[in-house]
């Protein structure tokens, strides 16, 4: 019994290992004929193909890439230490290391000089394994023909990777492959291996014995040390990390070359980005106080109230039904393509001695300064309204664009319930109250990169004459994140 | 006696000068430092996209910089998020993520407080380890660094804190090629001129509205273009922005460029075609819009009416004479 269980476990482990270790199959497009078709590259990394920015002399080790916008590779992001490169007439030199985005160095000095614009390439080659299951019978002397995407005439068998402006005209370099570098199915023989001239490299395996469908067949191209050379990225419209997809046509024929079954399968070489792609971007966020004498949202800071980067010190609110104003300045810079967003939240409403204020509208009756509901009793953390009557007590914020236009609303612009007709307007919102499970709202955002985009967050408070005396405080948090 | 008085005056004067210099330095320099105080943070990278097999782990270096003038205390956390809207903004959730995330720093753990001096950078090495048997799907989280406020006593006020976050889009997949499915929710023109009729003014560039929904189990980026073809063979290709569309969410997808024409006329057959992460035409939708010189025609009509009115007025005046 134990032996059986052990046997089953070993079998399962072997099966799992097979699926795990086997190189991943690239998406296949299955036509009505041949089934279970797949094409697998043992090395799916795109070749590197760039050019020399400035000519170099014999002995040079520092190589700078040309960045004129016409090359498949104009940065070193797809070149790694120990890669083998050719620089102009110098073949088989080892990359010693990467210096920066466009410069790398060689382990040894060049044998001869190379001119400006000379080609720099690093080939990536391997075996292409095509597997199909036939539907129709194939008689003796029938064959299977594999047609591989190739570059234009004259370039597809020069043992150097190729790059054109479009996937439809680009392809693999045949690298001098002969029938000795082809493995055909059992009882089949490699009949020919022909480099293409723009219409595809072809490999033919001949059936010495007929087969009946369905039969699984597998052809490996590029065995025996001479692999198929992967193309470099296309030099127009290629996105690093996104695969260029090439078509491999597989066809079975009878002895008179009549097609029996056919299928197109696809292979997708990509840069050597295996499982992780980091977007090389930064995000900077600054909170700053607004000093005495400054004006934000059309209001000067109240006397004696000078904000800092970490506090809004209301000090003593000595007059009832009077607005006290102050502000902070937020500044964001990011080169993230999708932009950024800043949200605001408060841990609770302002409570006497920091005590909890239960509910979203806890007021002076429970020793709290409530969040404003504005003049129309209609504003909240998501919706703005005019707030220009001091007798409508509470705490709220407004916004003003200092540079750019990233504020989600503005103190004097018509939006939501705000009229936005005068410079004296104060279009306000609440701050999302986390204790009341309110949702943090954006106060500042952009869907594109920004440099020094700045917004004033204008705080306003007003209390009634019956507000119990004491120290009231809470915590406000700004959260700045990049947009995904 | 007079000498003593003089000496005493000089001593007093010296004392006053010292007091003045001290006061000047204290009041001016100290005040300026307070007013210039800012809380400034940078994070790199702000977005990490990872695809991992169950049972594997990766590490990623993050850099947090204190660009401000004062030393700051921080704490860190990993918080799950979900899409907040169709623009790529996030909504942080209160739930917790599985304990797959940790710092590899020798002297700093995730959630541990640390001090970052003004102008200095803290590197943290985030390790993500996905256990075996993990459900193959997408996991979204934000690595947050939050300032810890100081003591705030003796007056009413609000303490402000800053949080800066980096989003992590993690896809767990055994094969490395999770199923990706999409649906075009809407493809239309935003700036229609006459109510809902597909007509725009010839002098206006059409603005396309493309909403794509992710109906599969893994995020994707649309790769494709909108192509507008006119009557006279004009063709305009607008490449779609490769924006992440998260699972069960819809994203407004914009274009990298605009139609490069100052005047459009006639019908334009417009087709959007895209693949999911690869430049294919797996998904497509088509609309037709008409570009007419509406403003120009209105201008002509107004001019004709004005001329007619002036002529009629002059005719009446002549008859009266």
Is the CB of residue B26 less than 8 Å away from at least one CB of chain A? Answer: no
Query: Is the pLDDT higher at B68 or at A13?
Result: B68
Q: In sequence order, what are the residues at sequence separation of 6 or more whose Cβ sits closer than 8 angstroms to the Cβ of residue A168?
A: none
Task: Indicate the SS3 state at residue A233.
Answer: coil
Domain B182-298 CATH assignment equals 2.40.160.40: no
pLDDT of residue A115: 95
Distances (CA, A) of B268 to A302, B196, B244, B254: 58, 16, 29, 19
pLDDT of residue A33: 59
Query: If pLDDT is split at 50, 70 and 90, which confidence band does B14 have?
Result: low
Mean pLDDT of chain B: 85
Query: If pLDDT is split at 50, 70 and 90, which confidence band does B59 have?
Result: confident
Instruction: List, as ranges, residues 303-322 from A with C-beta within 8 Å of B.
Output: 306, 308-317
pLDDT of residue A270: 74
Is the CB of residue A483 less than 8 Å away from at least one CB of chain B? Answer: yes
> For residues A349 and B173, what is the distance between their CA atoms, to the nearest angstrom?
44
Q: Which residues of B touch A481 (CB under 8 A)?
A: 46, 90, 142, 164-167
Instruction: Retrieve residue A401's tokens.
Output: 């664009």
Is the CB of residue B110 less than 8 Å away from at least one CB of chain A? Answer: no
Instruction: List, as ranges, residues 272-301 from A with C-beta within 8 Å of B.
Output: 275-289, 291
The phi, psi pair for B24, rounded to 5°, reads -60, -50
Instruction: Retrieve residue B261's tokens.
Output: 């024409």
pTM of the predicted model as reported, rounded to 2 decimal places: 0.58
Is the CB of residue A246 less than 8 Å away from at least one CB of chain B? Answer: no
B244: nearest CA partner in chain A: A484
The C-alpha torsion from A425 through A427 and A433 to A438, rounded to 10°, is 170
> B5 exposed, middle or buried (CB, 10 Å; 0-12, 13-18, 19+)?
exposed
Q: In sequence order, what are the residues at sequence separation of 6 or more whose Cβ sits closer than 8 angstroms to the Cβ of residue B321?
A: none
pLDDT of residue A26: 35
Q: What is the DSSP letter of A18?
A: H
Q: Which residues of B touch A314 (CB under 8 A)?
A: 155-158
Q: How far is B238 from chain A (nearest CA, A)?
A: 12
**A interface mutation test: which of B156, B220, B223, B258 has the most A CBs within 10 A?**
B156
pLDDT of residue B173: 86
What is the count of residue pairs from A and B with beta carbons less than 8 Å apart? 221
Mean pLDDT of all residues in B10-23:
54
> For residues B127 and B58, what is the distance between their CA atoms, to the nearest angstrom?
6
Is the CB of residue B255 less than 8 Å away from at least one CB of chain A? Answer: no
Is the CB of residue B91 less than 8 Å away from at least one CB of chain A? Answer: yes
pLDDT of residue A145: 96
Which range, of A5-9, B13-17, B113-117, averages the lowest pLDDT?
A: B13-17
For every one of its 484 residues, what pLDDT tens digit does chain A have, with 9 covering 90 and above? 556 665 665 565 554 444 434 433 333 333 335 776 778 887 878 899 999 999 999 999 999 999 998 999 998 878 877 789 999 999 999 988 778 789 998 989 999 999 999 999 999 998 998 888 888 889 999 999 999 999 988 899 999 999 999 999 999 999 999 999 999 998 899 999 999 999 999 999 999 998 987 888 999 999 998 999 999 999 998 877 677 888 899 999 999 999 988 888 888 777 753 333 344 578 999 999 998 888 999 988 777 788 888 888 887 888 999 999 999 999 999 988 889 999 999 999 999 887 889 887 788 889 999 999 999 888 999 999 999 999 999 999 999 999 999 999 999 999 999 988 776 799 999 999 999 999 899 999 999 899 999 999 999 999 999 999 888 988 899 999 988 8
The phi, psi pair for A80, rounded to 5°, reads -130, 155
Distances (CA, A) of A218 to A205, A267, B193: 10, 16, 60
Contact A45, A272 (CB under 8 A): yes
> For residues A341 and A408, what is the distance between their CA atoms, to the nearest angstrom?
10
Is the CB of residue A27 less than 8 Å away from at least one CB of chain B? Answer: yes
Nearest one of A321, A322, A319, A289 to A305, comparing CA atoms? A289
> For residues B81 and A483, what is the distance between their CA atoms, to the nearest angstrom?
12
Contact B62, B143 (CB under 8 A): yes
Please indicate whether, in this complex, the C-beta atoms of A311 and B159 are within 8 angstroms of each other.
yes
pLDDT of residue B33: 33
Mean pLDDT of all residues in B134-147:
94
Instruction: Retrieve residue B144's tokens.
Output: 């947050």
Contact A432, A346 (CB under 8 A): yes
pLDDT of residue B194: 72
> B30 exposed, middle or buried (CB, 10 Å; 0-12, 13-18, 19+)?
exposed
Q: How far is A482 from chain B (nearest CA, A)?
A: 6
- B122 alpha carbon, distance to own chain's centre: 24
Please indicate whether, in this complex, the C-beta atoms of B156 and A339 are within 8 angstroms of each other.
no
Is the CB of residue B157 less than 8 Å away from at least one CB of chain A? Answer: yes
- Could you tell me the residue ranges of all domains in chain B? 46-149+161-172, 182-298
Query: If pLDDT is split at 50, 70 and 90, which confidence band does B257 have?
Result: confident
> For residues A274 and A355, what is the distance between their CA atoms, to the nearest angstrom?
52
pLDDT of residue B231: 87
> For residues A470 and B116, what is the distance between their CA atoms, to the nearest angstrom?
35
The phi, psi pair for A454, rounded to 5°, reads -135, 140
pLDDT of residue A27: 35
Q: What is the 3-state secondary structure (H, E, C) of B1-24?
A: CHHHHHHHHHHHHHHHHHHHHHHH
> For residues B298 and B65, what is the distance between their CA atoms, to the nearest angstrom?
58
pLDDT of residue B52: 85
Nearest one of A269, A176, A266 to A224, comparing CA atoms? A176
Q: Which residues of B touch A301 (CB under 8 A)?
A: none
Tell me which CATH code domain B46-149+161-172 carries. Answer: 2.60.40.10
Q: In sequence order, what are the residues at sequence separation of 6 or more whose Cβ sits closer than 8 angstroms to the Cβ of residue A15?
A: none
ipTM: 0.73
Is the CB of residue A196 less than 8 Å away from at least one CB of chain B? Answer: no
The phi, psi pair for B42, rounded to 5°, reads -130, 145
pLDDT of residue B25: 42
Instruction: List, as ranges, residues 115-134 from A with C-beta within 8 Å of B.
Output: none
In this complex, the residue of A284, A337, A447 whose CB is nearest that of residue B67 is A284
B75-108 pLDDT tens trace = 999 999 999 999 999 999 988 888 899 998 888 9
Domains B46-149+161-172 and B182-298 share a fold: yes
Which range, of A460-474, B36-50, B59-73, B253-267, averages the lowest pLDDT?
A: B36-50
Q: How far is A256 from chain B (nearest CA, A)?
A: 36
For the four alpha carbons of A426, A427, A430 and A431, in that order, the dihedral sign comes to negative
Instruction: List, as ranges, residues 373-432 from A with C-beta within 8 Å of B.
Output: none
> For residues A367 and A356, what is the distance between their CA atoms, to the nearest angstrom?
9
């Amino acid at each position: 019994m134990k032996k059986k269980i052990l046997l089953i476990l070993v079998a399962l482990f072997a099966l799992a290992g097979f699926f795990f270790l086997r190189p991943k199959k690239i998406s296949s497009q299955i036509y009505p004929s041949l089934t279970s078709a797949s094409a697998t590259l043992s090395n799916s990394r795109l070749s590197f193909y760039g050019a020399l920015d400035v000519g170099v002399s014999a002995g040079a080790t520092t190589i700078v890439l040309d960045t004129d916008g016409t090359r498949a590779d104009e940065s070193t992001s797809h070149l790694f230490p120990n890669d083998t490169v050719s620089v102009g007439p110098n073949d088989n030199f080892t990359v010693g290391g990467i210096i920066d985005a466009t410069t790398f160095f060689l382990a040894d000095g060049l044998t001869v000089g190379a001119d400006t614009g000379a080609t720099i390439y690093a080939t990536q080659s391997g075996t292409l394994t095509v597997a199909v299951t036939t539907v129709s019978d194939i008689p003796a002397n029938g064959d299977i023909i594999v047609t591989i995407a190739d570059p234009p005439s004259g370039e597809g068998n020069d043992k150097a990777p190729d790059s054109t402006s479009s996937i439809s005209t680009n392809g693999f370099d045949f690298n001098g492959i002969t029938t000795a570098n082809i493995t055909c199915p059992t009882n089949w023989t490699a009949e020919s291996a022909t480099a293409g001239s723009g219409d595809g490299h072809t490999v033919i395996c001949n059936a010495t014995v007929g087969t009946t469908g369905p039969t699984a067949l597998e052809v490996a191209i590029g065995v025996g040390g001479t692999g198929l050379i992967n193309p470099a990225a296309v030099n127009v419209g290629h996105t690093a990390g996104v695969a260029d997809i090439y078509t491999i046509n597989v066809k079975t024929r009878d002895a008179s070359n009549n097609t029996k079954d056919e299928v197109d399968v696809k292979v997708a070489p990509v840069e050597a980005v295996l499982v992780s792609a980091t977007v090389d971007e930064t995000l900077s966020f600054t909170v700053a106080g607004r000093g005495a004498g400054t004006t934000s949202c059309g209001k000067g800071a109240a006397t004696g109230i000078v904000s800092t980067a970490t506090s809004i010190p209301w000090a003593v609110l000595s007059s009832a039904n009077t607005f006290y104003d102050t502000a902070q300045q937020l500044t964001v810079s990011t080169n993230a393509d999708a932009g950024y967003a800043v949200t605001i939240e408060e841990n609770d409403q302002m409570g006497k001695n920091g005590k909890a204020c239960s509910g979203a509208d806890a007021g002076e009756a429970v020793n709290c300064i409530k969040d404003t509901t504005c003049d129309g009793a209609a504003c909240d953390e998501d919706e703005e309204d005019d707030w220009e009557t001091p007798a409508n007590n509470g705490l709220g914020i407004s916004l003003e664009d200092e540079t750019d236009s990233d504020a989600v609303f503005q103190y004097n612009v018509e939006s939501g319930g705000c009229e936005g007709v005068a410079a004296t307007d104060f279009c306000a919102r609440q701050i999302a109250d986390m204790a009341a499970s309110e949702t943090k709202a954006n106060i500042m955002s952009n869907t594109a990169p920004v440099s020094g985009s700045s917004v004033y967050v204008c705080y306003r408070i007003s209390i009634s004459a019956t507000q119990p005396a004491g120290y009231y405080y809470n915590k406000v948090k700004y959260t700045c994140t990049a947009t995904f | 006696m007079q000498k003593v008085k003089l000496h005493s005056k000089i001593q007093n004067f010296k004392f006053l000068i010292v007091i003045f210099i001290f006061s000047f330095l204290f009041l001016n320099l100290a005040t300026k430092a307070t007013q210039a105080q800012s809380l400034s943070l940078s994070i790199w990278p702000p977005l990490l996209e990872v695809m991992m097999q169950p049972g594997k782990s990766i590490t990623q270096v993050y850099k947090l910089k204190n660009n401000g003038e004062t030393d700051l205390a921080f704490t860190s956390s990993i918080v799950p998020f979900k899409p907040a809207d169709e623009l790529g903004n996030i909504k942080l959730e209160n739930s917790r993520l599985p304990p797959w995330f940790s710092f590899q720093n020798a002297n700093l753990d995730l959630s541990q407080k640390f001090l970052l001096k003004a102008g200095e950078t803290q590197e943290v090495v985030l390790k993500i380890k996905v256990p075996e048997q993990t459900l193959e799907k997408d996991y979204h989280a934000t690595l947050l660094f939050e300032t810890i406020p100081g003591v705030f006593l003796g007056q009413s006020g609000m303490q402000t804190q800053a949080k800066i976050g980096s989003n992590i889009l993690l896809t767990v997949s055994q094969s490395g090629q999770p199923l990706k499915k999409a649906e075009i929710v809407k493809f239309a023109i935003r700036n229609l001129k006459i109510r809902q009729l597909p007509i725009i003014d010839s002098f206006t560039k059409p603005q396309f509205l493309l909403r794509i929904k992710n109906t599969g189990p893994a995020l994707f980026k649309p790769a494709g273009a909108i192509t507008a073809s006119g009557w006279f063979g004009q063709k305009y290709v607008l490449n779609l922005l490769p924006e992440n569309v998260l699972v069960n969410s819809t994203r407004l997808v914009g274009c990298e460029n605009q139609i490069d024409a100052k005047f459009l006329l006639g019908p334009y057959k417009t087709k959007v075609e895209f693949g999911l992460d690869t430049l294919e035409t797996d998904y497509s939708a088509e609309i037709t819009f008409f570009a007419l010189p509406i403003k120009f025609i209105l201008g002509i009509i107004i001019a004709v009416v004005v001329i007619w009115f002036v002529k009629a007025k002059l005719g009446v005046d002549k008859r009266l004479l």
